[in-house]
Amino acid sequence: MIKVIEGGVTAAKGFRAAGVYSGIRNNPDKTDLALIVSEVPGNAAAVYTKNKVKAAHIAVTKKHIADGKAQAVLCNSGNANTCTPDGEEVAEAATQIAAKQLGISSNDVLPAATGVIGVPLPIKPFEDAMPSLVSELSDTGSASAALAILTTDTYIKEYAVQFEAGGKTCTLGGIAKGSGMIHINMGTMLSFISTDCAISSEMVDKALHEEIIDSFNQVSVDGDSSTNDTVVVIANGLAGNPEITEVNSDYEAFCEALHIVSTELSKMIAGDGEGCTKLLEAHVSGAPDKETARLVSKSIICSSLFKAAVFASDANWGRILCAIGYTDAEFDVSDIDVSVKSEAGEVLVCKASASIPFDDDFATEILSKKHVTVEVDLHDGDADAYAWGCDLTYDYVKINGSYRS
């Protein structure tokens, strides 16, 4: 039984977090440095962007997490620390500053960053802000940390659940950011997930790599894969359950909790796309296999033409069929059904890959709502998958035309 609770990344036992303004950003009204800390070192795993150009912090995080352990995450916003001459040195130095203030090993601090690419990241803001950042750490600090990692996001993203493992109540929660440069392939997309469940590093790694395929990797806002995408999971074991070291019912419960949190954070990222007005969800069923369903659903939410049609509440279903047709997968396209739905209702707009009469005004009303779902049945198998995106608006161009300012 999964129970949704409050608390985000600090909902689990032994986790504290905070966010402060350090001076990395020019706007003192926007916090820009977040810290998440576990009372004890935890078993950890991470996944990263597949972009060949990677942020400097990723190299440092990979090195620090190589032993499968971590105790803290340090993340700044406003500067991506990417394509800079001393990026790794700065990321390493920042972890050392945090570790000294916390009294832990710098190897257990994982750095992350988000913001403008190609601008040197100064170390002084970390030196100046770290004492206040550590002093403000709180077991209710999830929202504070979630706010500090935002860039063009318009709201914080946090979620948490409880589940049972080994007769103990375990908690898993996380925060995320992402609004533009989002086309996740494991955007800038960052997510930090904590749990008090006792689970080995190997099993955390297995669960995370299997999970992102159906959650974070199924999100696209604009087709640009960021240089900084990172998802981190830290499990400190303070729930007291017998450590999960193999695939069993407790592992399945952990995976279910991870899936729910990851999926909800993914939806929040998609629904907060730069300039967007609507969350766009594509559900593809009747596919010959899971991978085909994933590819088709993501192809739909990535279509700039269809995203623009959704912005205008135009039921131009031909753009959906077009996006399905250029998907790089093998499947039968002769018997495809397409519906659009929202809280206003549902209408079938395409039957057996051909036009049918439908109420265009009703379809427009459906597409005018904040959460729009496209239901596609390929009638070519039993597999299904979801993907999430958003509409494409005038404001997307405005935001990205002046991003550095």
Q: Identify the CATH number of the domain in which residue 109 sits.
A: 3.60.70.12
Cβ distance 43 to 69 under 8 Å?
yes
pLDDT digits (tens, 9 = 90+) for 212-222: 999 888 887 65
Q: How many domains does the chain have?
A: 2
Please check whether residues 256 and 305 belong to one and the same domain.
no
Cα distance from N-terminal residue to C-terminal residue, the chain: 47
Cβ distance 57 to 37 under 8 Å?
no
Q: Is 230 a catalytic residue?
A: no
State the Cα–Cα distance between residues 358 and 347, nearest whole angstrom: 7
State the Cα–Cα distance between residues 261 and 232, nearest whole angstrom: 13
Task: Estimate to the nearest angstrom the gap between the alpha carbon of 205 and the chain centroid.
Answer: 17
**Residue 27 CB neighbours (<10 A):** 9
Percent helix, strand and coil across the chain, each rounded to 5? 35, 30, 40
State the Cα–Cα distance between residues 68 and 382, nearest whole angstrom: 37
Q: Which residues contact 92 (CB under 8 A, 6 or more apart)?
A: 60, 106, 111
The stretch 131-151 carries a mean pLDDT of: 97
Q: Which residue has the tokens 């047709």?
A: 325
pLDDT digits (tens, 9 = 90+) for 57-70: 999 999 999 999 99
Please name the helix (run of DSSP H) or strand (run of DSSP E) that holds residue 376, with its range, or none. strand 371-377
State the Cα–Cα distance between residues 363 and 341, nearest whole angstrom: 8
Please check whether residues 290 and 187 belong to one and the same domain.
no
Please check whether residues 189 and 66 belong to one and the same domain.
yes
Cβ distance 19 to 144 under 8 Å?
yes
pLDDT digits (tens, 9 = 90+) for 221-240: 654 455 667 899 999 999 99
The pLDDT score that the predictor gives to residue 19 is 98
Please check whether residues 78 and 179 belong to one and the same domain.
yes
Please check whether residues 266 and 283 belong to one and the same domain.
no
Map residue 251 onto helix, strand or coil. Answer: helix
Domain of residue 205, residue span = 3-270
The stretch 86-107 carries a mean pLDDT of: 97
Please check whether residues 47 and 72 belong to one and the same domain.
yes
Q: Identify the CATH number of the domain in which residue 373 sits.
A: 3.10.20.340
pLDDT digits (tens, 9 = 90+) for 32-50: 999 999 999 999 999 987 7
- Nearest one of 169, 157, 118, 133 to 8, comparing CA atoms: 157
**Which of 114, 151, 188, 292 is the catalytic position?**
188
